[in-house]
Structure formats: C-alpha cells, structure tokens
Amino acid sequence: MTRIGIFGAGSVGCYLGGRLAAAGVPVTLVGRERLLRITAEHGLTTTDYQGHHAHVAPDEFRFSTRAADLADADVVLVTVKSAATADAGRALAEVLPAGTPVVSFQNGIHNAATLQALLPDQPVFAGMVPFNVLDRGQGGFHQGSAGALELARDTRLMPLFAELAAAGLAPVCHADMPAVLWGKLLLNLNNPVNALSGLPLRDELSQRSFRRCLALAQREALAVMSAAGIRPARVTAVPPSWLPRVMDVPDALFRRLASRMLAIDPLARSSMWEDLEAGRRTEIDWINGEVVAQAARLGMPAPVNARLVALIRDAEAGGRRDWSGPALLAELTATGS
C-alpha cells in the first residue's frame, strides 16, 4: 500500500488526509502544533455536501510537526499556502529520498515550478483542489462544494491515483495542468469578493451585485490571458469565456444555472475568508495578484483585480470586511472606469 505524506496539513491537507486514512491508507500529516494537539485529542472527522461522514481515531494516522517524518513516504502532497511554498521546498529537500514524487495541491499557478526548482532530485507535479474545505473545529473538516481533484497525467502517480480513488476522491488526470490552473484561477477570483462580503459562499453568490463584482474581475482576467496567449481549461459546465455572462444574469436564472454548474452547501466559505478569520496572511497575491502581475508584464491595466488585492490587504490589517454587494460593485466599477 502506498504511504502518503501531506506537508502543510491545514484545512485541505487534513481533509485529504482524513479521507485517505478512513480508507486504510497509511498517512503522515505534517502541520502546526495547534492541529497536532487537536487531532491527538479528537482524531479527524471528514464530511461533505453529499452526506459523506467518516471518523478516524488518532492512532489511525500520524500527525507530526517535523518534515523529517515524511522521509518514508512514497509520495508527498504539498498543501501549504502559496506564501510558504519555498519554505516547504527547502524543508522537503532535506529529508526526501531522490525520486519521491511530490504533488502541489495548492492555489495559484507557479507553485509546482517553485517546488521543482528546490527539489531537483524529485519529480514534482501540479494538482488542483476544486472544492472548498471548512475547518469546523475539533478535528472536523467539511467539503462544502462540488468538484473532482485534478492531477497531472503521469505513470509515476498511478499509485496515488489508486489510493485517492479508494478514498472516494478519484482525480481527473490532465496532460495540460497549467491550463487547468488558469481555469481554476477564474473561479478563485471570487475568493476576495466572498471574504469581503463576510457571507457564506452560497449566500454571497445568490446576490447579483456580488456576482457582478466577480464578473468584472473575470472579464479583466480573460482579457489578460488572451493577450498572453493563455487558454484556460474548462473546469465547470460552461466554457471559461461564458463565466462573466453567467455571473451577470438575474438571480432566478442564476439559481437554475448554478445547480448545473457547481453544487455549494450552506457551510461553504472561501479559504480567504477563513484566513482573515484566523488572522493569517491570505493568498491574494497568488490569485487576483497573479492577474495583476501578468497584466504588468504585458503593459496592460488590471484595475479591478488590483483594487481587490488592495482591499484584502486592508482587511488583513483590520480593515473593512462587511461590504454589501452594491457598495463593493460601486467601488470596483469606479476603479475600472
């Protein structure tokens, strides 16, 4: 059986680890002292929007704060926040045997490349987690939205594929993961909108004014991608170029379309909202900031995404996090005009 290590066991890492451990897969999670204490007391409980529920006791997995405890892993999943990618690469470089596959299950575009530069003796692959995971406390982690894991297509990852499938998380494999990551980025542009609203995802997306904020950011991102020759993959039921138009439709029509596009339960929140709640640095530079950076390389403006970056940085410093849809839309419209 494949031994799986997870470096950066926060919400996503603990959810994946809990699902794998519940399927009997040997799992070692490396994370912070806080979660070590919590999981030592409560174990791990995973739930999802479709009714999945599983619990694994503390003795059914290993949780550590030391990268060295991943030395015997057959494959390592990296789930740290993007700002910690380089630190993760340096830590793993000291302990992993040559040839150990490493998978970046992180937000953003360039994390796998960052890891590969620091791990020249390991094959590094891009992956993508399309769903939201909420830390419910006491070792409970909840998948609040739909989507299958996405994974680079490579024979070296077949053992991982088999274990994920056994855990009910069978991934979709792709030859062009950069396109998939750009497609996911278009959806993740909602993260700051959700975080600034202070609402659960379903409540936020049910309001046209908030969706129009997202549509502004998506149109801008699509223009930048087109200028850069980037063709984002289709990661929902509609093509990427249609997303802003779908977000702009009246609420009643959106409810019908959304039921076919993406299932979201009432508990779902964006990871950016969760980071602000916990007083952590967000991944805004690796999401909307990626659009701004790509635009700058092309000599293009990206004022809507730049303004969302600025508003999240202000929120990180204690600023406003209770924007109404109309107020945020007015702010972004004025910025982009």
Q: Where are the domains of the chain?
A: 4-175, 180-336
Which of 144, 162, 119, 178 is CA-nearest to residue 270?
Answer: 144
pLDDT of residue 68: 98
State mean pLDDT over 68-83.
97
pLDDT-derived band at 256 (thresholds 50, 70, 90) equals confident
Strands, sheet with 133-137, edge to edge from the N-terminal-most edge strand: 53-56, 44-48, 140-143, 133-137
Residue 54: band (very low, low, confident or very high) from pLDDT cuts 50, 70, 90: very high
> CB neighbours of 263 closer than 8 A, spacing ≥ 6?
49, 145, 146
Mean pLDDT, the chain, integer: 95
Q: CA-to-CA distance for 262 and 260, rounded, in angstroms? A: 6
Q: Is pLDDT at 259 greater than 70 in this prediction?
A: no
Tell me what percent of the residues of the chain surpass a pLDDT of 70: 98
Amino acid 219: pLDDT:
98
Hunting for tokens 């740290």 — which residue is that? Answer: 80
CA distance 201 to 249: 17
Task: Identify which has the larger pLDDT, 146 or 224.
Answer: 224
Q: pLDDT tens digits, residue range 114-144? A: 999 999 999 999 999 999 999 999 999 999 9
Helix (H, G, I), strand (E, B) or coil at 137: strand
For range 9-14, the mean pLDDT:
96
Measured CA to CA, the distance from residue 31 to residue 331 in angstroms comes to 38
For residue 262, pLDDT beyond 90: no
Residue 224 or residue 255, greater confidence? 224
Class of domain 180-336: mainly alpha
> Element (H or E) spanning 150, and its range?
strand 150-152
> Do the bridges between strand 4-7 and strand 53-56 make them parallel or antiparallel, or are there none, so unpaired?
unpaired
* Model pLDDT for residues 285-322, shown as the tens digit of each residue: 999 999 999 999 999 999 999 999 999 999 999 999 99
Cβ atoms of 151 and 157 within 8 Å: the answer is yes
Phi, psi angles (nearest 5°) of residue 77: -100, 130
User: 188 near 218, Cβ under 8 Å?
Assistant: no
| Mean pLDDT, residues 250-257 taken together | 86
Q: Do domains 4-175 and 180-336 have the same CATH topology?
A: no
With residue 314 as reference, give the H or E element that holds it: helix 303-316
Say how far apart CA 81 and CA 283 lie, in whole Å.
7
Q: How far apart are CA 249 and CA 208, in angstroms?
A: 7
pTM, two decimal places = 0.94
Which amino acid makes up residue 282?
A: T
| The pLDDT of residue 209 is above 80 | yes
DSSP letter string, 19-37: HHHHTT--EEEE--HHHHH
Is 260's pLDDT higher than 80?
no
The whole-angstrom separation of Cα 147 and Cα 195 is: 21
CB 4 within 8 A of CB 79: no
| More confident: 335 or 193 | 193
pLDDT at res. 257: 77
Give the pLDDT confidence score for residue 236 in this predicted structure: 85
* Residue 101 predicted with pLDDT over 70: yes
Tokens 């094959």 appear where?
123
Instruction: Quickly state the pLDDT bin for 337 (edges 50, 70, 90).
Output: low
Residues above pLDDT 90, as percent of the chain: 91
Say which CATH architecture domain 4-175 belongs to. Answer: 3-Layer(aba) Sandwich (3.40)
